[in-house]
Amino acid sequence: ETADEEEEKEEVSKAAAPAVAAVQHEKDFYPYILIGAGTASFAAMEAIREKDPSAAILIIGNEDIGPYMRPPLSKEMWFNKDEESTEKLSFKDWQGKERNIVLKGKETIETIDQDALDKIESAQSGVRVLTGVTVEDLNVSEQSITLNSGKVLKYGKVLLATGGVPKTLPVLQGAGADKVTTFRSVEDFKKLHSLVKAANKKIVIVGGGFLGSELAVAVSHYGKDKGVSVTQVFPEDGNMGLVFPRYLSKWTTSQVEQEGVVVKAQSRVASTKPTGEGQVELTLENGEKLVADHIVVAVGIEANVALAKKAGLELDEVRGGVVVNAELQARRNVYCAGDMTSYHDVTLGRRRVEHYDNAILGGRVAGQNMASDKLHKAYKHQSMFWSDLGPHIGYEAVGILDSKLSTVSIWTKKPTVAAADAEKKEAASESAAAATPISEESKLERATATPLPAEAVKVEDKEKYNKGLVLYLKDKRIVGLLMWNNFGKVEDARKILGEVYDTEKVEALVKPFGIHEE
């Protein structure tokens, strides 16, 4: 017998004689163990309890705090008017409502440490979060996990929701470890916040994606009256250059600059060294030198698959993450959700998404499937994401937003529709800005039109992208929608995601988005 056949037999026998029931009331058995005390685990927990209200659930996380929202850490938390709110980890949401980043729902969650865990004779019910503990091993045939203390726990169903690990750049090593931080957790927030609080600090943020751009704006705003300077360094032509079409990325940079950030686009750090006076000198590839008190590196994350890899789960070599099916199942009784999950999206194909709502919605589906062997629910509901970059930019989006795709943009102020072809991206996406207004009548033609001549475009124009819609196209289908300063349209966007893009029907297609209503 091959090892595979042996394991297959083992699994079949397990299915026949339900392992879950046999050890139901044993010490160190939990019907549901959720690994990673983040957003996805929180959502899964709530979904399990909805189906199985007295379920005993153990969430295990290696941070000192239970599940919380990360989004405010690079936005709202820096806009607090008083330090007391910040201490309490509170923030004001966009409606002015005071909230806390710690996730709270209907369920009562008991936070425990390893000592308390050891004292549990038999977990009959209740939701517990074990903090400060790392799960070191997962044994999918034994249905057990091993904690960093060596303690072994058995599970009925397990969720892997271990999130992502921020990447860093070797070139920053010269600066010294204490001068460079990644930014993911509350702990990272507290560290950077207390550093920026002291007057006159020079902060360099490396990275022009979601995190680098949000943080640059937020820290600059917070540090305005403290003499703080923020410089952002990244290789793309503008902020969010991997996500927005080129013209919009450039416009975004102009807005980030208005918030006081010094943006070094098309730039890479070539070397770093201490200045000898407690600061760091960065040399860019073009020879320019910057001095910093601290460097924040925001160059993306790596899906955290350490545990899954050891357990022999299938990994996605292209996108990173653990491969799961549309039901978010990696193996029998093993589920994944959130940032570390490469799943089959029934509409858009295999994907891995690194956003909050995906962790919530995916976590929910995983939890529902975990709590019911008969459900077999596919993760079909399209997640959204959103961001704010200063007072003039707020957006929501669904689907795949990749600046390499062809895009069609429709704007309110000076109504324009233009197509950008991926191959002709350089010229095309700048002209998508269509500084020359296009009349309502010619709009439909313009949707298929070849790009305007490059000289017709001046990105520096004070034209404002007040409200608009960008469609991302792949194989003639709409695979992504960006709703720019246009809130509450996510449901409409979900409806047309995956549809064939037809120039003839563009007017009807975009009608629900109310672009031309003002």
Return the number of the residue (69 or 447) whose C-beta is nearest ligand NAD.
69
Cα distance between residue 297 and residue 212, in whole Å: 8
Q: Does 359 bind ligand FAD (CB under 6 A)?
A: yes
Alpha-carbon distance of 143 to 345, in angstroms, equals 27
Of 22, 7, 260, 44, residue with least CA distance to 139: 7
At its nearest, how many Å lie between ligand NAD and the CB of residue 326?
20
Q: Which of residues 384-403 bind ligand FAD (CB under 6 A)?
A: 385-387
| Sign of the torsion angle spanned by Cα atoms 505, 510, 515, 517 | positive
Q: Which 141-170 positions form the footprint of ligand NAD (CB under 6 A)?
A: 164, 169
From ligand FAD, ligand NAD, none, interface partner of 268 (C-beta below 5 to 8 A by class): ligand NAD
Q: How far is CA 453 from the centre of its chain?
A: 36
The answer to whether residue 37 forms part of the interface with ligand FAD (CB under 6 A) is: yes
Q: How far is the CB of 208 from ligand NAD (least distance, A)?
A: 3
Task: Tell me whether residue 383 is exposed, middle or buried, using C-beta atoms within 10 angstroms of its C-beta: 0 to 12, 13 to 18, 19 or more.
Answer: buried
Site for ligand NAD in 290-309 (CB under 6 A): 298-301
Q: Which residue has the tokens 């730039």?
A: 267
Q: Does 73 bind ligand FAD (CB under 6 A)?
A: yes
Q: Which residues 6+ apart lie within 8 Å of 292 measured at CB?
A: 175, 179, 202, 203, 204, 231, 279, 280, 281, 282
Residue 396 near ligand NAD by CB under 6 A: yes
Give the count of beta carbons closer than 10 Å to the beta carbon of residue 274. 13
Q: Does 28 bind ligand FAD (CB under 6 A)?
A: no
In angstroms, give the least distance from the CB of 465 to ligand FAD: 20
- Does position 162 interact with ligand FAD (CB under 6 A)? The reply is yes
Q: Is 168 in the site for ligand FAD (CB under 6 A)?
A: no
Query: Could you tell me which stretch among 51-59, 325-333, 382-390, 391-399 binds ligand FAD (CB under 6 A)?
Result: 382-390
Longest dimension (CA), the chain: 75
Contact 261, 292 (CB under 8 A): no
| Vertex 382 angle, CA 411 and 467, to 5° | 15
Which of the ranges 80-88, 93-101, 160-168, 254-262 carries the binding residues for ligand FAD, by CB under 6 A? 160-168
Q: Does 242 bind ligand NAD (CB under 6 A)?
A: yes
Torsion of CA 170, 172, 177, 179, to 10 degrees: -160
Query: Considering beta carbons, is residue 132 or 235 the nearer one to ligand NAD?
Result: 235
**Shortest separation between residue 266's beta carbon and ligand NAD, angstroms:** 11
Match 């350089």 to its residue by tokens. Answer: 426
Site string for ligand NAD, 340-369 (x = CB under 6 A): --------------xxxx--x---------
Is 49 a binder of ligand FAD (CB under 6 A)?
no
- Residue 349 CB: number of other CB atoms within 10 A? 10
User: CA 197 from chain center: how many Å?
Assistant: 27
Q: What are phi and psi of 238, to 5 degrees?
A: -160, 175
Q: Of ligand FAD, ligand NAD, none, which one does residue 63 interact with (CB within 5 to 8 Å by kind)? A: ligand FAD
Give the pair of three-digit tokens for residue 405. Answer: 């795709």
Q: Looking at the DSSP assignment, which residues form a beta bridge with residue 418? A: 409
What SS3 class is residue 384? strand
Considering only CA atoms, which of 402, 410, 387, 382 is closest in space to residue 499? 382
CB of 383 to ligand FAD, least distance (A): 8
By CB under 6 A, is residue 394 in contact with ligand NAD? Answer: yes
Q: Is residue 235 near ligand NAD by the rule CB under 6 A?
A: yes
The DSSP bridge partners found for residue 399 are: 480
Residues that bind ligand FAD (CB under 6 A): 35-41, 60-63, 70-71, 73-74, 134-135, 161-164, 183-184, 211, 304, 307, 338-339, 354-357, 359, 385-387
Residues that bind ligand NAD (CB under 6 A): 71, 74, 93-94, 164, 169, 206-212, 214, 233-236, 242, 268, 298-301, 354-357, 360, 384-387, 394, 396, 487
